[in-house]
Structure formats: C-alpha cells, structure tokens
Structure 1
Amino acid sequence: MSDTMTKTEGPILETRALMKRFSIGSRFSAEGRRTVHAVDNVSLTVRRGETLGLVGESGCGKSTLARCLVRLYDITDGKLFFEGEDITGRSLNALRPMRRRLQMVFQDPSASLNPRRRVGDLVAEPLRIHTKLSAAEINRRVAELFDIVGLLPDHVTRYPHEFSGGQRQRVGIARAIALNPDLVVLDEPVSALDVSVQAQIVNLLADLQEKLNLTYIFIAHDLSVVRQVSTRIAVMYLGSVVEEGPAEAVFSTPAHPYSQALISAVPVVETTPGGSRRRILLTGDVPSPLNPPSGCRFHPRCPIAQDRCRTERPEPTAYDGGRKVACHFPTI
C-alpha cells in the first residue's frame, strides 16, 4: 500500500449501505445483549467542492454517521470509499495517510480540546505527527493558522478555558485545517454558540472553503443555517437517509413526509397576507433504534402511511433533478 492517496476525478467520499450497530447490556441481565441500530443502510455520495448538509431530529444517527465517515468508529457493515479507495476495514496504521486529508470539527470544542495543554500545542500536534517540519516551521504554521481563523498571535500560549465558545471553535477549526485537508466533517459546529457567534463561524467556514478548496459535510439542527451553507441536503430519520437532493429543491418542495414535517417547523417571515406556511405536527414518539419498526421506519408517525409501508421497506429512488427519496408515495 502506498504512503499517499492520489486524488481522483470521482466522488471524494462515498458510502454504500453503511451500517453501524452497538451492542449494549449484558448477557447476564434480564434483557440480555441488545443491539442499537444507530446507522442503517446509508448510501451517500459527496462530490468535491460541495457542502452536503445532514439534518434530522436528535438521536437520528447524524453524529454516529459522522464518526463512521472519518473512521473514528469501526463500521459494522457496508462500504466506505475515500478518493475512490475502500477504507472500510483499514487498520489504524493504514488509515494514517488518509488522516491528513479527512478531518473533523466537533460540536463541543470544550470537550475536544485538552484543558491541560496550550491551544498552540493542540493546533501544532497534527503537524508534529504527520509532517517533518522543524519546530520553527511548525510555529510559523501555527501562527498562520491562528491568523486565518481570526485569532491573535498571543492566543497560542493560552489554555482552552481562557477562550469564549466561539474562540474555542476557531481553535478546533484551525487544528482541522492544519494539514490542508480535502474534506472536513463538521458535527454541529455552531449549535452550542450564540446566534451572532454562529454567523461569524458560518462566514469563516465559507471563506475557508473558498480559499482552501474544501469539501464539507455539515451537520446541524438549525435548518436555516443548513439551507444557507449547503449545496445538497440529506435528511436522516432513525439511522437512515429518507431524502437527498439539491438544497433549494429539498427546502422548497420536500418530497418525503418526514422532510415536509421537518422543514415546516422552520420559522418564516410572512411578507404577504396569507403567506404563512402550514405547520405539520407529527404524532407519536420516535421509535427506539433498539427495536426499529418493520417496513418503512417512518410509518408509525406518517400521515399517509398505507399497508405497504408497514411491511415493505422503501429503497431510495432517483428522480429528475438529482433527488433521491426513500418513500413509497413521495410527492414528487
């Protein structure tokens, strides 16, 4: 196996029927060992230079999928390709060349930054591990990275607790881009920040994408933010992608009943009389990933579910305009 991975003309990242399951409990307990179906049969394609927005309710598997994509979690089944190469079962040593080009920014910068180390050391760490730069060259690169993300030179000697939440997230972004990656997975990078700070981080990410030719997978709860930054949208429900397509198409004419309900909850400004959007309220609770429903995972809460939905699981079907919908009765 070569030490470097060459860029390809195809998708930068692709999953095929990706699954991640966790075993919980004990065989000595009354319930025994149980299986959590965290990510279930996800097939996605991420094209170079785009931003794929990943949305869905809390607990739908977005963060688990993100960690599978960067191989922080081992994959239970299916395939994961990066730059056309199958990295599904690669060992940690074999993954090292890929780490330079596939990075992640976490939701909570406080949890992802070692509180006992200065932030300059944290940003320098990937440079020490993956490059042969001298100490002086690493220091210059760290100073450059701090300037790029909007931090001051004297910030390098501070500890994470001395920064605001937005500043800590800038440190996390600096660390993620230190090795000039091709793809950055952003796991809810603005959800823990104030609204004004969110806007600053979103603008920073947009600037970096343009300057560094980055590809993003952007996970967020705020659908307004996702719409603003995304090229395409993938909607997840109970571990599966139920709809995928161009961002404006998915937001303006969602085809899956779950997408319609999710997007109907986004606040809108009423500029004309009668221009308000109908709010779709779903009944029932989200089923447990310990015991997902048969057939379509969404059918217990779906307002248009029929007998077929209860027994036959819909496969994602491609439609004109680059849309894919996993529904027996899509409005498309």
Structure 2
Amino acid sequence: MSQETKRKMYYILAILYRAMKGEVLSVQGLANEHQVTTRTITRYINELKNWLADHRELVGNTELIYNGQIQGYQLKFDSFLLNEELMVLIKILIGTRALKREDLVALISKLKQLTTYNERPLVEQLIKKELHRYIPVEHIEQDVMDRVWQLTHLIHGRKEVTITYYKANREKVNRTIRPVAILFAEYYFYLVGYWVDKDGETDYVPILYRVDRIVDVVIHRRTFELTRETNFDEGNLRNKVQFMHAGKPQKIKFEYTGDSLQAILDRIPTAVVLSLEGNKAVIEAEIFGNGIKHYLLGQGRRVKALAPVCFVEDMKSEIKEMLLSYEEKR
C-alpha cells in the first residue's frame, strides 16, 4: 500500500469518526486541522459519500449530507436517536433511581453520542438540575449492572446456582436456585428463580430476589431444562405480580368505589371490570402472591375484597391489626 493510499485512508477514517460522533464537519475547519487544501477534503468527503451509497447492505440508510444552515456536513443514519427519544430515555433512567450516579452519568453520556451534536448542549441544560439532585436507592451490592449481566448469562446457560442473599430483615442466607429471568420494577432489578431443595427438586413456584441483595454467586456444574409447562413467561409474571411479591397464582375479586378506575386498571394489567354501576366497579384479576394486598389497602375505604375467602380474610386481618396499632397509642 502506497503512502498516498495510507494518507487517504487516514483522512477518510478521521472524517468518518468525527461524523459518527455527531459533529458538524466544516470543510475549511478540516482542511486547517489536517493542513491540506479544501479541495482535498472535499474529494475525500465525496469518496466517503460514494462508499456509503455503494454499501447500503452494510451501513443501512446512512448518508453524509451538507446542511446549508450550519454550513457543514452531518452524518444521518437510522441509528441516530431523535432528540425527543433521547430525552424520554434519560427521564426514564433518572426516574428509576436504580443506578449509581457514576453509572447513570456514563450511560447518559453514551446515549448522547447517538444523537445530533448541535442539540447536546440543550440536553445537558435540561437534565443538569435533575442529575445534580439525583439520589439512587440504597443498594447492598453496589455493582448491580455487572451482577445483572452475570445472571443473564447464567439464565441463558441454564446453570443452577447458590446465591448468598440478604433478606429484608438483613439476615444473610444461602439459596440454591434455578434462575430463569431478570425483571425490573419499583426501583430494583429482580432475579426470578425456582428454589431447589436438598434433594435437587423444585415445585416450580417462582421466587423473586432483589439483585442488589445478592452478594455472592456460586455456579454449579449441574444444568437444568424447562419443559413447556414449566418454562417461564416474564411478561405473564410481570402482569400478575404486584410490588414484586411472588407466590402462588390466584384469582381475586374486589369492589372499587373511587374516582380513578383507570388508575386501578393501569396498575393491575390483568384486571377486568365485571360490572359497573355509577362509581361502583366489580373487578377481577389474576395475580401472584400477596403484594396486591399492599396496593389495595392503600386505596382505603374505596376498596372492598370480595373473593376468594382467604383473600377477604387476609384483608380483614390486616385492617384489624392496623386499627389495633392506633388504639394501642391512645
């Protein structure tokens, strides 16, 4: 390869690199930077434009386009985030409070590289205050992103593992499980797994473990298979689990007399309105575990449990204990 060819490749790659960063490319600016003529830069830009057009099967709908308003070239391709898309993603990330500040800032910085260069100062200005006052939720295990990725590989490889885990009361326990999914909800990532007893058996009832409370993972040689009946459906569980309290499935029925029926239906994806008279709705829903109880109790007198009997009695018992705690303080 001749020196001239190497030089040309260097200039073209330099131009492409700057363009992929979202920068506006000025012919005069590039010429001054590389100490060549504007004619040389224009020739290299044209060669790059022709190469992009000839290799659409590799680069997709990618073009280097001159923008007369800003007097420079910009790279346009399908993978660029629209500014409104970027803002929505950043707002969601900040709202989750699930990442350490440094991880969040690094992730947002990478996302900004996928949007137009001239809009990045505006994005910085819009999120500056939120990032300054960002407070993540407290985690026991700090490297949540690394742990999520490790568990994802174990799920894919169907590896049985023993985790060292801190329960809500800070008791440290060891659990041998068959990991089957990762979910995110209510500020935390959760590992879904089937508990394995000392004989190596499981009842295939999904149990949820907060990923940030997993402080160690021992990987076993033993792998497992899931049948059609026991294969895990993350979407189905997400719709039926409230506040990430897993357990056995059940169908509940309750009466709602509030003015925010749609909020109830949005919060419980499996909810179905059986009847509606005025502001009184009878709702049925398929759920896992008893996490739904905490949400419905928060609705106060606007909710009345109807079925099954065990659900009704559980709600009654909780209300009685709440009332008792107030009476004891008198």
Which bin holds the TM-score, normalised by the shorter protein? Answer: under 0.3
Larger Rg: 2
Output the TM-score relative to the length of structure 1: 0.25
Higher relative contact order (CA 8 A, sep 6+): 1
